[in-house]
Each structure stands twice: as C-alpha cells, then as structure tokens.
Amino acid sequence: MKSHIFWSLLKKDFLDLLRSKKILILGIIFLFVAISSVVLAKVMPQILNSLPQTPGLTISLPTPTYLDSVDQFVKNLSQLAIFVLVFLVAGTVVDEKTKKTLELTLTKPISKKAFILSKYAANLGSIKVVYLISALIFYFYTVTTFASFSFINFLIMSLLILVYLILISSATIFFSTIASSPIMAAIGGFVSMIILGTVWGLIKSIKNYSPYKLVGDYKEIITSGWNKDLLFPLLISIVLIISFVWASIIVFQKQEIER
C-alpha cells in the first residue's frame, strides 16, 4: 500500500464526513451530553423538591456533587450518544455499495484493503477527536460548577469509555461491510451492544472480562483510578477491534463490486 495513495483516500473520507454533516451531528450530540449532564446534575434535586409532596412524607435530597455530574455523563453516553453513533457509522461502507460509487473509487490504484482501512481511520479518528473535546468541556464545566476532582482519574475513565465506543463503532462498520442496507448494519451494531454490554455480563464465569466493564466501573475509576481488574477487558476490547477491522478487510476483498 503506497502511503500517499492512502493519505489521499483518508483525506477524501474525512471530507465526505464533513460534507455529510456526520461530524457536525456527532459534535452536537457529544457537546449536548457534556453540557446537559452537568446541568441535570445541578438542577435535578431542585426539580424533585419542587414537585408536590405526599402529606406526611418528607424527601430530603443531598446536595449534588461532581459524582452526580459524572454519573449523568456516563449514562448519557451509554444511553444516547452511542445509539446516535451506531446510526452515523452504519452507512460507512454499505452506502457506497448501494450508491454504486465503489467502482469509480476502486478503479484508481486503490486496493480494497486501503479502502476499508481508510473508512475505519476516518470514522474512528473523528469519533476520538470529537469525544475527547467534549469530555474536556464536561470536565472543566463540572469543576467550575461543583468542585475540583482528579483529572488523571477522569482521563483514565474517558479513555476507557472511548475504547468501548470505538469497539461498538468497529463492530457496526464491520456489519456495514456485509449488510445490504444501513438499517441492517445498525441492527448489527445494536446486537453487538447487547452481546458485549449485557449478555456477556450475565455469564458469571466471564462477566469480569466483559468489554462493558470499561464503562460500568466508572465510579471506581473516577474515585480510585486505574485498577488491574480492567486489564483483561481492555485487552479483549482491543483484540476485538482489530478482529473487526481484519474481518472487514477479508470480507470486502471477497465481495464482487456491482456495476
């Protein structure tokens, strides 16, 4: 693979993400999560206290802290942002197949391997940059709203969550390689989320190795930092990401390009 050809292809894919406004949508969603998480953590007790009380029943809510803000942030990432993310990357490969633009792209000195690697690099690179910027915005907004807390612990937590987001995105792009439509690819992405995030955790003998542990253990990470129990989930996640990329290349190389 010639490097200048790959970089030209990568530039094209980044420009396509900009033109299709996928990066803009991703930025809006992550920024919304970053800001709304802090706001909700701050005002939710006030909202609940303003609700009509049952006679004879007094509810006293504790003063919100940065932990409540982090709690909202992680929940919004895992319940909102990741769903939008799946839909945004679901058309990565299949859109070009259905629009039949692959023939034009691959008639140039571009291999199928370079095509897939560029798709992964452009999408995952965009996700990484947008997510990390939003995470920094969230951190500084939380610190100014509540109280200072360990940036190192927050960085560890954010990077581990990023690995999980990349894992689900990689799985979805793989399904985009084999699916006949973006909807089918998105379904594949959601099934991956269920298997990696829920089903795996229900199997007692292997639940401690679940990739979702990178997200689920955020409370311990934010207070205590890295712990060795996260090593295997991290390694397994990295292996799965590489496997999805490699499988996408193998599958795509065997596919016939429709004319």
Q: Where are the domains of the chain?
A: 3-254
- The answer to whether 6 touches 122, Cβ cutoff 8 Å, is no
Per-residue pLDDT of the chain (259 residues; tens, 9 = 90+): 567 788 989 999 999 999 999 999 999 999 999 999 999 999 877 766 666 665 655 566 778 899 999 999 999 999 999 999 999 999 999 998 887 777 777 776 788 999 999 999 999 999 999 999 999 999 999 999 999 999 999 999 999 999 999 999 999 999 999 999 999 999 999 999 999 989 998 999 999 999 999 999 999 999 999 999 999 999 999 999 999 999 999 999 998 876 5
- The answer to whether 145 touches 69, Cβ cutoff 8 Å, is yes
Distances 32 to 62, 73, 162, 169 between C-alpha atoms, Å: 25, 10, 17, 20
- Looking at the whole model, is its pTM more than 0.75? yes
| 138 Cβ contact partners less than 8 Å away, ≥ 6 residues apart | 33, 34, 35, 37, 38, 69, 73
Name the token pair of 138.
Answer: 């969230």
Give the side-chain half-sphere CA count within 13 A for 244: 23
Locus of tokens 């991703």:
26
CB-count burial class (<10 Å; 0-12, 13-18, 19+) for 100: exposed
The number of beta carbons lying within 10 Å of the beta carbon of residue 239 is: 12
